[in-house]
Structures are given as C-alpha cells and as structure tokens.
Amino acid sequence: MSLILTAHGTRRATGVAMIGDLAAQVSARLDRTVHVAFVDVLGPTPSEVLSSLDTEPRPAIVVPAFLSRGYHVRADLPAHIAASGHPNVTVTPALGPGPEITHILSRQLAESGWRVGDSVILGAAGTSDHRARRDLHHAAALLSALTGSRVDLGFAAVGSPTVPEAVAAARGRGARRVVVASYLLADGLFQERLYQSGADLVTRPLGADAGLARLVANRFRRAALPGGPAINRLCRQSTLSPATLDLS
C-alpha cells in the first residue's frame, strides 16, 4: 500500500522542509515510506506521485494536509487523482477542524506563554469557499470551548477581518495582551504575516508540533482498515465530474 501526504505548497524552503519533516516523522511512526505531494506552487503533484509509484499500482491512501474542506480538498485533489489513472485510491478527511487539532492549538498556546484572560485570535490563511469558512468558524469555537477564552478569527490572505484588524479590534475592546494562534501547517508568507500582525505572541505553525505527526499517522491507519472507499470507484459511480465530488 502506498502512502501519500498532500499539502498546499509554498515557495519558502522552510515551509517545504517542515512538510518533509512531518512526512518523515509519520514514516517513522508507521515504519513505512510516506511520499509528499503538493497541489499548488510546486511539485510533485498528487497525480505525478501516484503515476510514478508502481508499474502495477498498489492501493494508495492520500491524507490531505489541510485544515478545512476548501477548494483544494474538494476539487483539486480529486482532479489530480482522476488524472493519474490510479485504480484504487482512498482519500481521508482533512486534518481539521476536530478535537485533535484543537488540542494541538491549545498546547501551542500554552507553550507560547498564553494566559487565561489573554485575547486569542485564530490566524488562518482564509478562503472564499463557504464550507471551508464554516470549518474555520467551527475551529475557533472548538478552541474557545477548550480554553474557556473568547477566540476570534483573523485571515492572513483571503477574507475579513485580516489578522492585524482582528488584533486591533481586540485591543479596542480593552485586551491587555493579544495572542495569535497559528492555524497554518507550515512556515511561509502567511505565517510571516501573523508574526507582523502586531500581536503580543504568535504560536508556531501546527506542523512544528509532534502531535500533528500522530494525527496524520492515525489517519493512514484508519484508512487502511477494510471498507475504506476508493475515490476512482466513486468517480465511476457518480454522474458528477471528479472535480465536483465532495470528499468531506
């Protein structure tokens, strides 16, 4: 069985290295090679990785290293898999939102120096996709419930408010300290924008936490159990094109 971790992609070498290190940690946990693919910015793409694995392809599992069910998960990834021609691919749910990611966020906050009473901004890349936006609001609500603190959303790329606007709004409400909880997987331009937002503290990207490797490894383990759906079989049975299938 082939294992593939699929991420967005970044031009920052540190971000690419962080995804590579995550795959290496998961490989060590599973004692199996985990391949890396990117849906944007750089390669190899999921279709290229799937096409290169075997002359007679073994079943493959793809874990989308994304924190919501946005366009890349619902459209780009199934299109890449369909283009590969691979006959047996299982795609797991995205990594977030969910209790595992929420606990990592909470741990990152504690390690950063966050204290109860600090204003918290969940700093996400942002999206114009309504499903993904609902996921981001759900992630903020989960973190608020776990920490007992108000958690607002701020966006580094797409959407309003921006992270600096969210930080300014928190200060306008009288917040003594503002902490941005990074809802990003790896270093890159968006993480740099979080650092420049004017917050008192900014947590590291989630990919820097060992708990993320444990979460990804468990995604692979569960998908390897009998009964996991094969995406290409779903494509043949559906009247929709692969790019419109909802994998959530």
pLDDT per residue over 145-182, tens digit each? 999 999 999 999 988 999 999 999 999 999 999 999 99
Higher pLDDT pick, 47 / 42:
47
Alpha carbons 33 and 24: distance in angstroms, whole number: 8
Token code pair at residue 242: 């692969």
What is the rounded radius of gyration, in angstroms, for the C-alpha atoms of the chain?
18
- H/E element, 132: helix 130-147
Residue 160 burial (CB count, 10 A) = 10
| Domain 2-96+208-235, CATH among 2.40.50.320, 3.40.50.1400, 3.50.50.60, 3.20.20.70 | 3.40.50.1400
Alpha carbons 184 and 5: distance in angstroms, whole number: 16
Q: Which of 128, 102, 113 is nearest to 206 (CA)?
A: 102
- Average pLDDT for 205-224: 92
So where are the chain's domains? Answer: 2-96+208-235, 99-202
CATH number for region 99-202: 3.40.50.1400
| Confidence (pLDDT) at 55 | 55
Q: Which of 100, 83, 190 is nearest to 146 (CA)?
A: 100
- Average pLDDT for 139-150: 95
- H/E element, 78: helix 77-84
Higher pLDDT pick, 9 / 77:
77
pLDDT at 109 over 80: yes
- Average pLDDT for 3-9: 88
| Confidence (pLDDT) at 187 | 86
Asked whether this chain's domains 2-96+208-235 and 99-202 adopt the same fold, the reply is: yes
CB of 72 closer than 8 Å to CB of 26: no
